[in-house]
Amino acid sequence: MPTIADVARHAQVSPSTVSYVLSGKRSISEDTRERVQSSIRELGYHPHAGARALASSRTSVIALVLPLRSDMYVPVLMQFAVSVVTAARAHGHDVLLLTNDEGPEGLRRVTDGAQVDALIVMDVELDDPRVPVLDELGLPAVLIGVPADPGRLTCIDLDFSATGRCCVEHLAELGHRETVLIGHPGPVYQRGTGFAQRTIEGYREASLDRGLDSAVYPCGHSYDEVHAVLSRVFAEHPEVTGLIVHNEPAQGVLLDVLRRLGKRVPEDLSVVAICPEGTAEAASTPLSAVPIPASAIGQRAVEAVMGKLVEARAEDGSTLLTPQLTVRASSAAVRRD
């Protein structure tokens, strides 16, 4: 592997000049710059990341902390990850993948060892032990998800409260008076998952505002669980005409179960989902849905991190993306007959 000294010799300049050509931190004459650049190309020079990190205390690597939990919906996670990597690359950075099983110590490890310049942390819970650690770490950090107390940290997420509200309003405008929210499995709520709880809040508030009945049913993913929950829903709420589904993995099964139970969508029952675009489109009856803009969030997270990194720009707290409901075949005006 050629070093910067090799390049310097080849271009007949000093190593520092090569460095300045690369970083652009001092002006270099057109002439030398080209000479250096062609030497770099000719020798196939790539700066040694370790040496660079040592000298500049910058790694050009950001950490992405993924949850390992099985109850997170994987495709969304993956969209996040991919968009973060892509956006980071666009800014000349790489991504170090961490899972959560090291806990807060894992964060300390990589930052103390100067392995990363910044962190992006996913699946943040309302009362997340990582948040205080991140806050005191002092490195640029962005949370995907909003904890109860974000401290000085930047958060980015879909506005789930508005999302819940948005679903209610859509159904209300179609004339539905009684709706039910099919949620994530119980443990997700007990754990204090912000997005799940906020969705419920929004749902409840909006229902109250409009004087509509509301009810929340946590629900598992399997066919049997969905079947059991829906049976209970119809037994306990025979008048229900609107279903809001905030439980991605159950989505696929849900329409199937409804069919079995003799409910036609949207004739007997309107369904609104909160899930990735693709899932909503591919359903047997395409679902009216608020898409989860995973890619946009990932991208924003990277932008925020880069902002802090480059210009120590203090991001203005949380960014909550406005939900955008797309109407498809699964929701329709209630039939008054």
Partner DNA sequence: GCTTCGCGTCGAAGCGCTTCGAAGAGGAGC
Partner DNA sequence: GCTCCTCTTCGAAGCGCTTCGACGCGAAGC
Nearest to 271 by CA among 225, 236, 233, 322: 233
Q: 282 or 333: whose CB is closer to a second copy?
A: 282
Q: 113 or 238: whose CB is closer to a second copy?
A: 113
Task: Identify the sign of the CA torsion 299, 302, 308, 311.
Answer: negative
- Output the smallest distance, CB 220 to a second copy, in A: 9
Q: 44 contacts which partner out of DNA, a second copy, none, CB within 5 to 8 A by kind? A: a second copy
- Output the smallest distance, CB 318 to a second copy, in A: 26
Estimate the crossing angle of helix 4-11 against helix 15-23, to 10 degrees. 100
Q: 28 or 61: whose CB is closer to DNA?
A: 28
The radius of gyration computed from the CA coordinates of the chain, to the nearest angstrom, equals 25
Site string for DNA, 52-71 (x = CB under 7 A): x-xxx---------------
CA 147/CA 155 separation, integer angstroms: 8
- Output the smallest distance, CB 92 to DNA, in A: 12
Q: 201 or 256: whose CB is closer to a second copy?
A: 256
- The pairing of beta strand 61-66 with beta strand 94-99: parallel
CA 226/CA 245 separation, integer angstroms: 11
Instruction: Determine whether 159 is exposed, middle or buried from the number of CB atoms within 10 Å of its CB (0-12, 13-18, 19+).
Output: buried
Of 34, 38, 41, 51, the one binding DNA by CB under 7 A: 51
Q: Count residues contacting DNA (CB under 7 A)?
A: 31
Task: Name beta bridge partners: 64.
Answer: 97, 120
Under the criterion CB under 7 A, does residue 38 sit at the interface with DNA? no
Q: Given the structure tokens 């652009």, which residue do they identify? A: 24
Q: 57 or 70: whose CB is closer to DNA?
A: 57
CA 276/CA 24 separation, integer angstroms: 42
- The pairing of beta strand 216-217 with beta strand 242-245: unpaired
Candidate ranges 44-52, 223-231, 250-258, 281-289; the one touching DNA (CB under 7 A): 44-52
Q: 11 or 180: whose CB is closer to DNA?
A: 11
CA 249/CA 241 separation, integer angstroms: 22
Under the criterion CB under 7 A, does residue 13 sit at the interface with DNA? yes
Q: Which amino acid is at 122?
A: M
Give kind and range of the element (H or E) at residue 119.
Answer: strand 118-121
- Output the smallest distance, CB 9 to DNA, in A: 10
- In degrees and rounded to multiples of 5, residue 267 shows phi and psi of -60, -50
- Output the smallest distance, CB 17 to a second copy, in A: 20
Under the criterion CB under 7 A, does residue 12 sit at the interface with DNA? yes
Under the criterion CB under 7 A, does residue 115 sit at the interface with DNA? no
Under the criterion CB under 7 A, does residue 20 sit at the interface with DNA? yes
Q: 56 or 284: whose CB is closer to DNA?
A: 56
SS3 content of the chain, % helix, strand, coil (to 5): 50, 15, 35
Q: 15 contacts which partner out of a second copy, DNA, none, CB within 5 to 8 A by kind? A: DNA
- Output the smallest distance, CB 98 to DNA, in A: 21
Under the criterion CB under 7 A, does residue 185 sit at the interface with DNA? no
Positions touching DNA (CB under 7 A) are 1, 3-5, 12-20, 22-23, 25-29, 31-33, 45, 47-48, 51-52, 54-56
